[in-house]
Amino acid sequence: MSNHHVEMLKRVYAGFNARDIDAVLAVLSDDVAWANGMDGGHVHGREAVRDYWTRQWAVISPQVEPVAFAETDDGTVAVEVIQSVFDLDGRPLEGQSHGLKDKTVTHIFRIEGDKIIRFDIRDAL
C-alpha cells in the first residue's frame, strides 16, 4: 500500500466530513461502484454518488473517522472507520429507520492509478 493512497484516502474522509462533494468526486473513477450504506447495494458513477450523498445529507449528518489502514491480500485498501451518525442539528440519532448507525466498520477501496474504482462497506472484524 502506498503512502500516496493513504494520504488520498485521508483527504477523501476529510472532504466527506466537510461535505465537500467535489473534492471527493475528483478522485473517483467515472464509473465508480460505491456502496450505498443507507439502502444497500451500490450506486454507479460520480453523479450517482453525488445524488446519494445529497439525499443522505438531507436527512442525517454522518461523520467518519479513519483509525487504521491496511492493504489486503487482493490489493485493496481496508480502512477501519469509526462511523458516527447525527441528526441535522448535531444530536445523536434515536429511532433510526435507515441502515446507518454509530459503529466501527471496515471500508474497502479498490484503487487503480489515482482513482477509486470501487468502495465497499463491511462490519469490522
**pLDDT of residue 61 exceeding 80:** yes
Write the pLDDT tens digit of every residue in 69-124: 999 999 999 999 998 888 888 877 765 544 455 678 999 999 999 999 999 999 86
Instruction: Kindly give the pairing relationship between strand 28-35 and strand 77-86.
Output: unpaired
The domain in which residue 23 lies consists of 3-123
* CATH number of the CATH domain containing 78: 3.10.450.50
Residue in 11, 41, 32 with CA at minimum distance from that of residue 118: 32
Dihedral in degrees, nearest 10, Cα atoms 75, 37, 31, 112: -20
Task: Give pTM, 2 decimals.
Answer: 0.88
Query: How many domains, in total, are found in the chain?
Result: 1
Give SS3 for 73.
coil
